[in-house]
Amino acid sequence: MVGGLVENQQLDMPDPIFGLPFRRLMLTLGATELLAAFLCLFTGKKTLSLGLVIWLSINFMVYRIALWNMGWHRSCGLLIDPLRLSLATTDLIFSLSSTFLLVGSITALWLEHRKLQASESLKISCHSCGGHIKFAIQNLGQKIPCPHCQTTITLRKPENLKMACFFCKKRIEFPAHALHQKISCPHCKMDITLKESA
């Protein structure tokens, strides 16, 4: 009973930065966290979700640092009564969880950015040596020397090429970056080398 009374008193205390009772501050924070969780779990907006989690984590850490700088070293003690944890333990749990969320969200956002960059690149084959060339989509139309044979080529969108099988004469369609590869003909199963039609 005494633990619950102490917890209620601490929740009714005004926080030293905003002057709001800790109870109202925690409710606002909880509602924002639920919104972030909803976006993460039920929408495909990964960048927005991760950005919101990063924003929440940074705000929480800045808030805690501001409290420590003001000499406020007390926790609001939300986990003392139900879990019988000390103030130092609850402080450590909240600090570690916000650090984990911040580092994890930044890492996930970075990986998402890398994945997006990879999906925005194209691959073509050099018409001279058959070497594969990967390039960013914004470089379409530029003329560059092939990194394999130095022949000047124009970066273009890869299109499916067509050829007739040497053995069964049936049509085969393949991506340009597969040019000069050896495959089994999907019709007669004979081994052939993919070439551009003359």
171 and 110 within one domain: no
87 and 133 within one domain: no
Residues 54-65 have a mean pLDDT of: 81
What pLDDT is stored for residue 145 in this prediction? 92
Residue 140 domain boundaries:
122-157
- Backbone torsions φ then ψ of 65, nearest 5 degrees: -65, -40
197 and 111 within one domain: no
134 and 44 within one domain: no
182 and 111 within one domain: no
Please state the domain count of the chain.
3
User: Tens of pLDDT along 1-59?
Assistant: 444 444 456 667 777 777 778 778 778 877 887 887 887 788 877 788 788 888 888 88
Whether 108 contacts 50, CB under 8 Å: yes
130 and 44 within one domain: no
Higher pLDDT, 155 or 33: 155
80 and 25 within one domain: yes
Whole-angstrom Cα distance, residue 76 to residue 11?
A: 6
